[in-house]
Every structure is written in structure tokens, then in C-alpha cells.
Chains A and B, each alone.
Chain A
Amino acid sequence: MIANNRLTEAEYAENFSDIHPAYTNPNAALVDANRCLFCYDAPCTKSCPTSIDVPKFIKQITTANIKGSAHTIFSSNILGAGCSKVCPVEKLCEGSCVYNLLDEAPIPIALLQRYSTEKAIANNWQLFTRKPSTGKKVAIVGAGPSGLSCAFNLSKEGVDVTIYEKESKGGGLMTYGIAAYKVTPEFCEDEVNYILSIGGIEIKYNMALGTDITIAELQSQYDAVYLAFGVGLARKLNVPGEDLTGVVDAISFIYDLRANGYSSVPVGDKVAVIGLGMTAIDAATQAKRLGAKEVSIVYRRTQDEMPCTQVELDIAMLDGCKLIWLAAPKEVLGADGKATHLVCSKMKLGEPDASGRRSPVETDETFILEVDMVIKAAGQMPFEALVNGSSLNNKSGKVSVEDKSVTSINGVFAGGDCVNGGKEVVDAVQAGKDGAKAILNFIA
């Protein structure tokens, strides 16, 4: 049975509370900060897509220079607060901390980053001064991490920025697409407001590219355009029965949960999640936390090839989600228009594919899972129709760029998920920085 309102308010609150609670007192932060060795040409910094000077910001915590610490972080990554909560640090900064090589716990870089940046946001420290307006105007499509990062770095240099956002809130997938126990919608709103507080950035909400505005219109009104419209819904399964009630998209499932509140979101008794990326984990764990009795994650390869990190997998397993390896959906069966069973093919590993991972090959064997809900989370689809409707060069809907952000249209730049097809928030932030740099060059 699919139903909402399965738990009490207290249960929802507990299930969706912060998975990595902040330091409760400065002493705890100091103990961890003082462990940092202050490496030279630090591996943590080199493992951060935005190259945050980690040893420096941690050293600044030890000297009680929290403003300086936050400034160091935000100089490289204006979404440093959000990234401290959502980054898969186990494969980035913390994963390369030299303490790992001593078999000691790495420095909790994310937690320390959160410590400094949350203080900055809570106290509304103005750490950057916008240069006087140059009179140059840039339009940005999408107020997600890439668009916000680009906007901030342009505005800082005196460019007047207008962001066109199709939703009614900024933050993009930070606001609408990540597990609530990592970041709350309220936090995302604070972060967006903090970024905007530098001035010179206007967001026009409920304005979608292709519907309300076109690239050509933007080009005529602005000196340059930056496209950061992200990616769309989850990839289709392309199996019979996909249209049955109960087969849902992970992106809209998480969107509803974040936009409309936990108790309003219906969830099945027996849920199958297809895929094993970060979004699949977020969908599976949150289905469980909304009160689903059984959640099975169906993945077509093995643990060696999984796209999520071990830390993420552990969260799902600790939540009681079941893992079904080497299995792919073949058909959704139903009764009265509602999904009742998921037929899966058993898979085996074949030759390595383009990603270097061994590709799954279908066998003759199948098995059937009893389900009332299937959540599709096997990657997101680019906005192919939108991109094809423009003259942008692209690869199956992913905008093609040269020199990191230059598109095939003069004066139009792009970055983030709409270019790379969907990576981490921190990658999108870096793309926004690259875009801003290219645009400043272009309009100079």
C-alpha cells in the first residue's frame, strides 16, 4: 500500500535530523583542528575540486581567526557551507588526508569547514566587498550551485547579474535534490541569501528557459549568458509496466519530500530503488525513513563497481535497506493499474566499458520482487529537448564546451550538471568559477 503520514511528527524529526551533527562546543573543534599537520601542497586541497586551502582554514580555527577561516573557504567555494554537508569527503579531501596513511582517522575537514562557514552565515559576516558596478550585465540560467557560484564571482568584480530560475527557490539540487538529513531546505535558503548578500545579483524566480525566456532574448539584453540549468528527471527504465501507478522518479520523490514536507509524501510498504548512485541512496534511505517497511536497492553490477561511496552504502545498510547486486529491472507487473511486482534479470559482469568498470550482461535467469513502489534512480537525463531546440552543440543533450565553459554560441557559456551530465555539488561550484572567469575575460 502506498500511503503518506505513516509516522508521528517526532518520528519524522528524528529520522530526518542532521546525520553529521555540528560541533557542540568550540573546544571539540579546536582538538580536531590542532591535529591538522598543516601539510605543504596539501593532498586535501588537491583533492578538492574547488581547491579550498584546507590547512590554512584549519590553522585559522586554531588561532581563533574564524572570520579568516570562513574567508579562506568562501574565496575558493562560496557554497563552502553546503559542500561541508553534502560532499562525499571520503573520496575527496578527507579521503586523501595523510593521516589515512598512518592508519589514523583523517582530520574531520567537513565538520571543521561547517564550523567556520556556519558561524559566518549565522552572523552574516560580510567577508567580501563588491567592486563598484562596471555597468556590464550577465544573465545566468539556473540558481543552483553552478549558477550561484558564477553569479557571486561575477558580482564580486562589479558585474550586474540576473539569474533566471524555474523554481520558486534558489539552490537547485541543494534545495530540491539531496537527502534532508544532509541539508535542510531552511539551511539552503540561508545559504542562498548569504551568497546574495554581496549585492548585485537579482534572481527572477519561476522563469524557465524555453518557456518564459530564450537564449536569444537573453543574448540581446545582456553582455554574456551563463547556462547552469542542470539536469532533469531520472533516466527511464524502458521496460514494460513503467507507467503503472507506484513507479516514480527519484528526483521528483526527493523534490516532493523537500518542498512539501515529510508527512505529505506517500511511500510504499515494499519499495524497490533502481540504481546505486548518491541519488539512489538518498531515495532509498528516505523511503525507509518515511516509514517504508522494506526497501531493496537493485543494482546491475557489484560492490566493486558501485558509483556511491562506501560511507553512503553504509548509511543505506544501517537504515535497513537491502542490496540486490547484479540485477536489472526487466518488467513491472501490476494489477488494477498499480505496480505489484518487479521482474528482474540476473546479470553477470562482462568486459570493461568506457568507464573502465566491467559492464553488466543479462543472463537468462530472472527473479520477481513483490513491490508496491519502484523508484527510478539510475542517473539523470539531460534536458535534451531544450538543448536540441537551441543551436548549442551538444552530446545527447549535454552542452558541449571548450576551455571548460565556452559553448558553440558566441557570448554564451555553460557549466555544471548541464555540461557534465550530473556530478557533485562541489564540481558545479568550480564550474561556476570557471564560467565567471571566462565571462570576465569575454566582457573585459
Chain B
Amino acid sequence: MADISSNFLGIKSPNPFWLASAPPTDKKINVLRAFEAGWGGVVWKTLGSQVKNVSSRYSAVDYGGSRIMGFNNIELISDRPLAINLKEITECIKLFPDRAMIVSLMADNDRNSWHELIKKCEDAGAMGFELNFGCPHGMTERGMGASVGQDPEIARMVVEWVMEKATIPVITKLTPNVHSVVPTGKAVVEAGTNALSLINTIQSVTGIDLDTLVPNPYVAGKSVFGGYCGPAVKPIALKFLTTIAQNETTSKVPVSGIGGVSTWKDAVEFMLLGASTVQVCTAAMKHGFRIVEDMCEGLNNWMDEKGYAKIEDFIGKSVEKITHWEDLDINYHITAKINQDKCIHCGLCYIACEDTSHQSIKLDYGKPYNTYTIKEEECVGCNLCKLVCPVDQCITMEEHRVAPEYINWKQWQEQGLPLNDH
């Protein structure tokens, strides 16, 4: 059995799966249920000046008959009195001392407010802080949340205030509502944050009710941009995560990965791109806390199969595998192959290639079943046919190098090699 426990800047948890700062972590009853279910830690829902929330608060994007491919919310930070939150945090820690208890913070925009909030939370027993510089709705209109994270200099200033006071690890949570997370990431690392977490939610409109013409979520005939999350945002999160892992400054601090993590496989992918822990919200909101069981078991089995004894053995291993386009090997060439024994003659590969790609699939009409074969000389190896094929391993990509040696785009140009091979 592999050891899946985590030690994040000294904050220990029995597994690397934390619940993200969100509705599932806004009070004792939820958090205790999460710990009972087996979650390694929680980031308590953001504390700050008390706010009011509206109804409704969530909306979703469904796809192909599946619910909640993407999810958004317009809920603000905790709307419960600070004193109750702090009391419950202390009680949760007492009942589950082996779990990570991080508290998310978003104080008003002055040094004093931050210092006071930090003091109170440390007194309550918090093991670490996560600075909410990412919330993209509501709080931004008050100059908080993503408004802080979108401006590296404001973010730097607030982190400096925090670091003056905090005696426990500080994680700064980054907003993806920027062209790059690196400038703010760099600024806050230089200002002394101990770690980063990303991504927060993405500003979004999930859809519009075609009867009322009001976008979702609906609040008395109106809507606002909400923060988008769930499986749909995972690829965007992984990309931002990679840019942090590849930057000289930001890669010096540990990262907690967030954004559409639903399964142990998602978690491993975040960890391979540099995350030491992952945070989950949407998947738990969809299925309940019980999903953590398979996350732990799946991670454990995968690590055993691959021979990793502890999570540090594989964290960050895929970072170097994402390179620049101009360094890719141009002589690498693959072509598709259709296994006729597995083919069910649905024609999806054919129509995709014929209409939208390179007309590389031959169709021989039959009644009722057509036969489809690859025109190898036309195939550019784009993967499209394999991606649309509904049968596992029916279409495979086979390597047929153009030439044995590695050559990239820069070298290609230097050597004056021909461009037009059509």
C-alpha cells in the first residue's frame, strides 16, 4: 500500500484531497460530515465582513444527457457571523485534529482589517490561510476578490500586510480571470506568500432560459456573471497550473490545485503538473462527500501499480513534458488505423474527417453497413477520427516517422527545408 498522506508546509492530512473554500465548507455540520467521509482537509469558506446572499445562487451546463458538466455560482463569502464561524472551526479541529484546517480570508481593503481577521483565526486554531484573491462575482464590485488578484501590485500589497501578521502558512489563491496568472503569482511570491492555489472560478454566463429570456441563475428577473467551475474548467486550470510550475519564481512555492477535480485521475493529473494537494468542490456538491472513498482507493491503486511509494514521488513529473511548439519534433508522424474487427460502421470517423479534416478515410458503400478504411497517404495524424470513434481501441494511431532524426521548427527554417508538402 502506497502512502497517500500529505504534508503541505507542515500542514498534515491523511490524503491530499481537501474541500475547496465554498458552500460545502461553510459550517460545522458540513465539515464534520466531510471529515467523517474521509476528506483530508478543508479550506473553510471565506471569512470577512459579513454579507447578505441572494436566491437563487447556482446554475449549470448540462451536456449530452449528463448533468453539471459545468457549474457556476453567485454566492458571496460567508454570510454567517464571524464569531460563530470561529467557534465552529475550533470545534471541528478538536474533533478531527489529524485533518488540515485552512481558513479562507477576504478582509476589507486595509491593513488593520486583515491583521484583526488573521489574529482571530489563528486564535481559533487555523493551521493555514488561503487568501481569496479570486472570487469573480459580487465581492469584485466592492474592490475585493478578483479585483485584488487581477492587479499584481494590489495583490503584492495585501500579501505584505498579511505576512506582517500571520504566523502560520499563507496560501494565495489566484484568479483565472486574467490573460496569465504568472504576474500576480510572481508578485505575491515576492511579497512572501508561502504557497499558491489555483484556479478560482471563471466569470461566466451558463445559459439563458428561452422562455423568460433571463440568463441563469435567475434572481427576480435578472442575473449576474457567476463563477464557473466543474469538469468543464479542468483543462483551463491545468494550463494555468503549468505556467506556475514552469516559472522560475512561482515554482519555488508549493501549489494546491483546484478546478474541476472530480476523480482520483483528475487529482493525479493536477499533481503531475505540480500540485501538492488538490481541492474539490463541484464534484462533492453533485455527488456528496462519499466520492472521496474512490479518490483515495484509486490513487492508492495507481501508485502501487506505478511503483510510487509516496505522493512526492510523482508530483510535478509531467511539467517538463509541456514544451514550446517550436521545440516539437516535426519528423514524428502518425497515421490512423481502423481495426475492422472492432468497427461498428457508425461512420462518425468518416464524416468528421471528410467534412472537417483531411478527407483521409475511404468509404465503400454497403447495405446496411459501409466499410471505412484510412487513406494513409492523406492522413496527417490529427487524432480526430480516434477521438470521435465510440469503440475503445478501434482506431489507433501508428507511428510512421518521416525521418529518424529529431528536427524542430527552428532547425527546419535554419536548414531551409521545404514547407509545402501538399
* Residues of A in contact with B (beta carbons under 8 Å apart): 30-31, 33-34, 37-44, 46-47, 62, 96, 98-99, 101-102
**Given the complex, which residues of A lie within 8 Å of B350, measured CB to CB?**
40
Query: Which of B154-162, B163-171, B362-370 forms part of the interface with chain A?
Result: B362-370
A96 to B344, CA, bound (A): 10
Partner of B345 from the list A30, A34, A98 (CB cut-off 8 Å) is: A98
Q: Is B65 an interface residue (CB 8 A)?
A: yes
**Given the complex, which residues of A lie within 8 Å of B369, measured CB to CB?**
43, 96
Given contacts A43-B345, A46-B367, A101-B345, contact A30 B65 (CB under 8 A): yes
Q: Check if B64 sits within 8 Å of A34, measured CB to CB.
A: yes
**Given the complex, which residues of B lie within 8 Å of A40, measured CB to CB?**
346-348, 350-351
Q: Is B51 an interface residue (CB 8 A)?
A: no
A283 to B391, CA, bound (A): 43
> Can you offer 10 A-B residue contacts whose CB atoms are under 8 A?
A30-B65, A31-B65, A34-B64, A37-B346, A39-B345, A39-B346, A40-B346, A40-B347, A40-B351, A98-B346
Q: Check if A102 sits within 8 Å of B344, measured CB to CB.
A: yes
A41 to B372, CA, bound (A): 12
Give the Cβ gap from B265 to chain A, nearest Cβ, in Å: 23
Given contacts A30-B65, A31-B65, A62-B65, contact A37 B368 (CB under 8 A): no
**Given the complex, which residues of A lie within 8 Å of B10, measured CB to CB?**
none
A143 to B293, CA, bound (A): 64
Partner of B347 from the list A31, A34, A42, A101 (CB cut-off 8 Å) is: A42
Residue of A nearest to B354 (CB): A40
* A34, A37, A38, most chain B CB atoms within 10 A: A37
A129 to B253, CA, bound (A): 69
A41 to B369, CA, bound (A): 9
Chain B, interface SS category? loop
Q: Check if A43 sits within 8 Å of B65, measured CB to CB.
A: no
Q: Is B288 an interface residue (CB 8 A)?
A: no
A99 to B368, CA, bound (A): 13
Q: Check if B65 sits within 8 Å of A34, measured CB to CB.
A: yes
Q: Is B390 an interface residue (CB 8 A)?
A: yes
Give the Cβ gap from B68 to chain A, nearest Cβ, in Å: 15
Those 9 A-B pairs whose CB atoms lie nearest each other, nearest first: A40-B347, A34-B65, A43-B368, A40-B351, A98-B344, A101-B344, A39-B346, A96-B368, A46-B368
A44 to B65, CA, bound (A): 22
Give the Cβ gap from B231 to chain A, nearest Cβ, in Å: 17
* Residues of B in contact with A (beta carbons under 8 Å apart): 64-65, 344-348, 350-351, 363, 365, 367-370, 390-391
A407 to B179, CA, bound (A): 74
Give the Cβ gap from A113 to chain B, nearest Cβ, in Å: 17
* A31, A39, A96, most chain B CB atoms within 10 A: A39
Chain A, interface SS category? helix
Residue of A nearest to B63 (CB): A34
**Given the complex, which residues of A lie within 8 Å of B351, measured CB to CB?**
40
Instruction: Knowing that A38-B348, A43-B369 touch, tell me 15 more A-B residue pairs with CB under 8 angstroms.
Output: A33-B65, A34-B64, A34-B65, A37-B348, A37-B390, A40-B346, A40-B348, A40-B350, A41-B363, A42-B347, A44-B368, A62-B64, A62-B65, A98-B346, A101-B345
A46 to B65, CA, bound (A): 27
A38 to B390, CA, bound (A): 11
**Given the complex, which residues of B lie within 8 Å of A96, measured CB to CB?**
368-369
Q: How many A-B residue pairs have CB under 8 A?
A: 43
**Given the complex, which residues of A lie within 8 Å of B365, measured CB to CB?**
41
Residue of A nearest to B64 (CB): A34
Residue of A nearest to B390 (CB): A37
Partner of A39 from the list B348, B363, B367, B391 (CB cut-off 8 Å) is: B348
Give the Cβ gap from B96 to chain A, nearest Cβ, in Å: 39
* B65, B368, B370, most chain A CB atoms within 10 A: B368
A42 to B365, CA, bound (A): 11
**Given the complex, which residues of A lie within 8 Å of B363, measured CB to CB?**
41
Give the Cβ gap from B14 to chain A, nearest Cβ, in Å: 38
A439 to B365, CA, bound (A): 31
**Given the complex, which residues of A lie within 8 Å of B347, measured CB to CB?**
39-42
**Given the complex, which residues of A lie within 8 Å of B370, measured CB to CB?**
41
A232 to B363, CA, bound (A): 45
A31 to B64, CA, bound (A): 9
Give the Cβ gap from A107 to chain B, nearest Cβ, in Å: 12
**Given the complex, which residues of B lie within 8 Å of A41, measured CB to CB?**
347, 363, 365, 370
A62 to B66, CA, bound (A): 12
A102 to B365, CA, bound (A): 21
**Given the complex, which residues of B lie within 8 Å of A34, measured CB to CB?**
64-65
Give the Cβ gap from B69 to chain A, nearest Cβ, in Å: 13
Residue of B nearest to A33 (CB): B65
Give the Cβ gap from B82 to chain A, nearest Cβ, in Å: 44
A96 to B369, CA, bound (A): 8
**Given the complex, which residues of A lie within 8 Å of B346, measured CB to CB?**
37, 39-40, 42, 98
Residue of A nearest to B345 (CB): A98
A43 to B346, CA, bound (A): 8
A102 to B65, CA, bound (A): 21
A19 to B81, CA, bound (A): 61
**Given the complex, which residues of A lie within 8 Å of B367, measured CB to CB?**
46
Give the Cβ gap from A430 to chain B, nearest Cβ, in Å: 15
**Given the complex, which residues of A lie within 8 Å of B391, measured CB to CB?**
102
Residue of A nearest to B369 (CB): A43
**Given the complex, which residues of B lie within 8 Å of A99, measured CB to CB?**
344
**Given the complex, which residues of B lie within 8 Å of A30, measured CB to CB?**
65
A38 to B64, CA, bound (A): 12
* A34, A40, A44, A102, most chain B CB atoms within 10 A: A40
Give the Cβ gap from B389 to chain A, nearest Cβ, in Å: 10
Partner of B368 from the list A33, A38, A47 (CB cut-off 8 Å) is: A47
Give the Cβ gap from B391 to chain A, nearest Cβ, in Å: 7
A47 to B367, CA, bound (A): 8
A38 to B368, CA, bound (A): 15
**Given the complex, which residues of A lie within 8 Å of B348, measured CB to CB?**
37-40
**Given the complex, which residues of B lie within 8 Å of A47, measured CB to CB?**
368
Give the Cβ gap from B367 to chain A, nearest Cβ, in Å: 6
**Given the complex, which residues of B lie within 8 Å of A42, measured CB to CB?**
346-347
A39 to B345, CA, bound (A): 8
Residue of A nearest to B355 (CB): A40
Give the Cβ gap from A241 to chain B, nearest Cβ, in Å: 46
Residue of B nearest to A30 (CB): B65
**Given the complex, which residues of B lie within 8 Å of A44, measured CB to CB?**
368
**Given the complex, which residues of B lie within 8 Å of A37, measured CB to CB?**
346, 348, 390
* B347, B350, B370, most chain A CB atoms within 10 A: B347
A47 to B350, CA, bound (A): 20
A310 to B344, CA, bound (A): 23
Residue of B nearest to A39 (CB): B346
**Given the complex, which residues of A lie within 8 Å of B344, measured CB to CB?**
98-99, 101-102
Give the Cβ gap from B54 to chain A, nearest Cβ, in Å: 28
A240 to B233, CA, bound (A): 80
A178 to B316, CA, bound (A): 68
**Given the complex, which residues of B lie within 8 Å of A62, measured CB to CB?**
64-65
Residue of B nearest to A101 (CB): B344
Give the Cβ gap from A422 to chain B, nearest Cβ, in Å: 23
Give the Cβ gap from B65 to chain A, nearest Cβ, in Å: 3
A113 to B369, CA, bound (A): 22
**Given the complex, which residues of B lie within 8 Å of A98, measured CB to CB?**
344-346
A62 to B350, CA, bound (A): 23
**Given the complex, which residues of A lie within 8 Å of B65, measured CB to CB?**
30-31, 33-34, 62
**Given the complex, which residues of B lie within 8 Å of A102, measured CB to CB?**
344, 391
A38 to B351, CA, bound (A): 11
A46 to B391, CA, bound (A): 22
Give the Cβ gap from A56 to chain B, nearest Cβ, in Å: 13
Give the Cβ gap from A385 to chain B, nearest Cβ, in Å: 38
Give the Cβ gap from B362 to chain A, nearest Cβ, in Å: 13
Give the Cβ gap from A102 to chain B, nearest Cβ, in Å: 6
Give the Cβ gap from A96 to chain B, nearest Cβ, in Å: 4
Give the Cβ gap from A61 to chain B, nearest Cβ, in Å: 11
